[in-house]
Structure 1
Amino acid sequence: MEIDFKDISYLQKGNARQRSAYDVITKYQILEKLKSYRPLVVGTIPINIDIERSDLDIILQTENFESLEKLLIRLFATHTKFAIRHTDKNLVCNFEIDNLPLEIYASTTETEKQTGYLHMVKEHQIIKSKDEKFIEKIRDLKRRGRKTEPAFCELLGISGNPYVEIFNYKII
């Protein structure tokens, strides 16, 4: 089954963590409040390779980091573990709602062209071609501190820069 990652309704039919993520997103109207920034939910939770300490990632597109920063402070500063930082090229905002850690990442790149989205889609395609043991090995590597893309590349025998080379992997 192909998932439309632009429509989060698939999360409400997923595992407990995915349903919890859906509940938080909808209860607090997070995507609606950030709608003008073209939000997309990405990362490990949507594709069910998250581990206990994984956060829910939301990516945004903006041309005005200052305006976005003010909005994020207004919307989320009262939540636990709120932190925000930005450079000329991106902004990262972290906080926790209902025991779910969230990370909002914004750049000037369209959300559908950001690597967070593209990696998730590619990883989902790979996962669909593998068995549950592969998924559990990914989680195990992540629990031992490995980032997602390097974990995939290690298991798939891909050398080089994992953030680039994962796109070259051919699914058989």
Structure 2
Amino acid sequence: MADWREALAQSRVLEVLAPLDPHVAGTFPLGLDVEGSDIDVLCHAPDAAGFAQDVWQAFAGCADFAMHQWARGERAVVAAFTLRGVPFEIFGSPLPVVEQVGWQHFDVERRLLDLGGPTFRDAVMQARATGAKTEPAFAQVLDLPGDPYAAMLALSALDDAGLRARIDQASGPAAKLLRVISKMT
């Protein structure tokens, strides 16, 4: 696959969606991409029909194009397609991007990776390599019980000290491996 930044620039997705405050989120900017990862773009789209029309006009000719609207929650319109061999997923939510669950997940994951350092990143990547999606991989490493998406959203309310404490408190197998590796380095 081409470099994700190059694919994003060549796609002109951010230019086309500029009036909708597009933000790139997900595994690529976190450095947690695996085979099959897509470029996630979150947009503030208070007019779902207008968003759908704009995206349709710009990207319906792309390979694998599909669009749907979530039935619950934010009622985001989601478009997926492949452009220049790279899968994209665009979310148009009526909420401003910083209030969207996808952005809150991305932000807390970024903060956790910064606080946990390379060893923490390696543990998350190890979980990703076994097939875990991003939030479940973090939840596995942090030994978070229950729904990993809800658990990660709850962590987004913590400050950095709270997140650091959560990293230090994790007691699952991945967390134990993380501590062993940290002591060795």
Greater mean deviation of Cα atoms: 115-124 or 161-170: 161-170
TM-score, normalised relative to structure 1? 0.80
Answer whether contact 2:116 2:164 (CA < 8 A) is retained: no
Q: Secondary structure at the match of 2:55?
A: helix
Identify the match of residue 40 of structure 1 among 13, 23, 32: 23
Q: Secondary structure at the match of 2:68?
A: strand
1:91 is matched with 77
Q: Secondary structure at the match of 1:95?
A: strand
Residue 162 in structure 1 maps to residue 145 in structure 2:
no
1:73 is matched with 56
Identify the match of residue 49 of structure 1 among 32, 38, 60: 32
- Percent identity for Structure 1 against Structure 2: 25
Structure 1 segments unaligned to the other structure (5+ residues): 1-15
Which one has a bigger Cα radius of gyration? 2
1:58 is matched with 41
TM-fit CA distance, 1:128: 1.7
Greater mean deviation of Cα atoms: 108-117 or 79-88: 79-88
The one-letter code sitting in structure 2 at the alignment partner of 1:54 is S
Identify the match of residue 110 of structure 2 among 112, 124, 132: 124
Q: Secondary structure at the match of 1:57?
A: strand
TM-fit CA distance, 1:87: 4.2
- Structure 2 CA distance for aligned equivalents of residues 117 and 87 of structure 1: 17
2:93 is matched with 107
TM-fit CA distance, 1:72: 1.0
- Structure 1 CA distance for aligned equivalents of residues 95 and 27 of structure 2: 21
Count of aligned pairs: 155
The structure richer in helix per residue is: 2
- Structure 1 CA distance for aligned equivalents of residues 132 and 90 of structure 2: 21
TM-score, normalised relative to structure 2? 0.75
Q: Secondary structure at the match of 2:29?
A: coil
Deviation string, structure 1 residues 35-90 (Cα, Å, up to 9, x no partner)? 11111000010010111111000011112111111111111111111111114611
Q: Secondary structure at the match of 1:96?
A: strand
Cα RMSD over matched residues? 2.0
TM-fit CA distance, 1:135: 2.2
